[in-house]
Structure 1
């Protein structure tokens, strides 16, 4: 994955995105066809996984990392890291509005290939959260998002690696769970990184869901069908 083609380098260490770059990353790299990432949509949003991938490329890979998302990034916003060498880093704009906080600890590697491979493996998994992971969880818990206003917010993700000399990382899902509390819910996706047959790290992705209502298979099936048709049309 050549991450450089999915953002524009600005003055100093700042960076920004065009709608075309962010949308292409979502679809071509992450396999994510959320309408929020469509070039023509009114409420456009840069994928959180693109910010994550750029952070690894620019800051390196630490054994322990946590990424907490706090704001939606649109196109054309100039972003920068608050301090590249700190343990706690924020992704901010020119007005110091925060969009992402990064906490890291332990040994660090500046191996660009490792950063690229870890990012790509995670993004390939993360981008397929809907419908592959969320729909079965919603059915199990008899709860679903509002199809007219599907509010699923990427809260945070964390990675804890045992070592950094990983040759060919792969990702394997170990547990998925949806906790429902009235109209709100939290999806917990846990996974491990492997190098060959050896587990070399663990991770977790958390998402907040709101506007939940009773599960309706016919309605969700229609949403999934529309999603798949959009994906099919894109690659046609």
Structure 2
């Protein structure tokens, strides 16, 4: 599967270099969250890459719930255990848990289906900022610190009616946000379609630090700089021939 380009294997454990993680964020998910920049002091591997690796390892189950319980740094050795269990912990070699997977129902290990779903889901996920999150923050009159934005992938849930299809696409539904003091939870809902048939649904939950009231002008400057950096990076990509 295409994910082999984004990790290395040492004694059965997976290691994700900052450069590879950042490349996945920018070139596959189109996610330019500063936390995934190689030189960020708070660098972490994208949750979408961990999710993708879990699907590569364990297949796509009819019901799945992912909890992102730790931020994975550069070259952390991760253990994706060989198991058919319904509950799985992805840990480092000190036993710290970074990802919890709960699954049930039928399982597809069709690599074409799994890659199709991964690519479409992470593309959906990477568009959450600014197009979804900024309107939600403005709606609730809250704002993250634009000098040190903290937006964390907390969990994700998937539910399929069946897995008898070859390709999947993700269609956004109405999102919502809940604010509790200086913290907010954003719920990003989606349908999963095979052609015109709705075959499942899910949602992604984000934890956001929101220490201040919304200010349109500074946020617009931040968004403009974000999009400029994104567009410049993508414009300089060298097309890969298949």
Tell me the TM-score range normalised by the shorter chain: over 0.9
- The 2-side partners of 1:33 and 1:89 are apart by 29
Q: Is 1:165 the equivalent of 2:180? A: no
Mapped to 2, the partners of 1:111 and 1:136 lie a distance apart of 37
User: What is the aligned partner in structure 1 of residue 44 from structure 2?
Assistant: 45
Which consecutive residues of structure 2, in runs of 5 or more, have no partner in the other structure? Answer: 237-242
- Work out whether 1:4 is the aligned partner of 2:22: no
Contact 1:90 1:98 in 2 (8 A): yes
Q: Distance in 1 between matches of 2:183 and 2:42?
A: 22
CA contact (8 A) 2:69 2:98 kept: yes
**SS, match of residue 32 in structure 1:** coil
2: distance between equivalents of 1:39 and 1:182?
Answer: 31
- Residue in 2 that maps onto 1:215: 214
Aligned residues between the structures: 235
CA distance in 2, matches of 1:11, 1:162: 38
Q: Residue in 2 aligned with 1:189? A: 188
Deviates more, 1:224-233 or 1:68-77: 224-233
Distance 1:50 1:84 in 2: 20
SS of residue paired to 1:149:
coil
Alpha-carbon offset, residue 188 of structure 1:
0.6
Instruction: State the alpha-carbon separation in 2 of the partners of residues 146 and 48 from structure 1.
Output: 21
TM-score, normalising length: structure 1: 0.96
Alpha-carbon separation, structure 1, partners of 2:190 and 2:104: 20
Structure 1 unaligned regions, length at least 5: none
Task: Output aligned runs, 1:67-216, within 5 Å.
Answer: 67-216=66-215
Q: CA RMSD in A?
A: 1.2
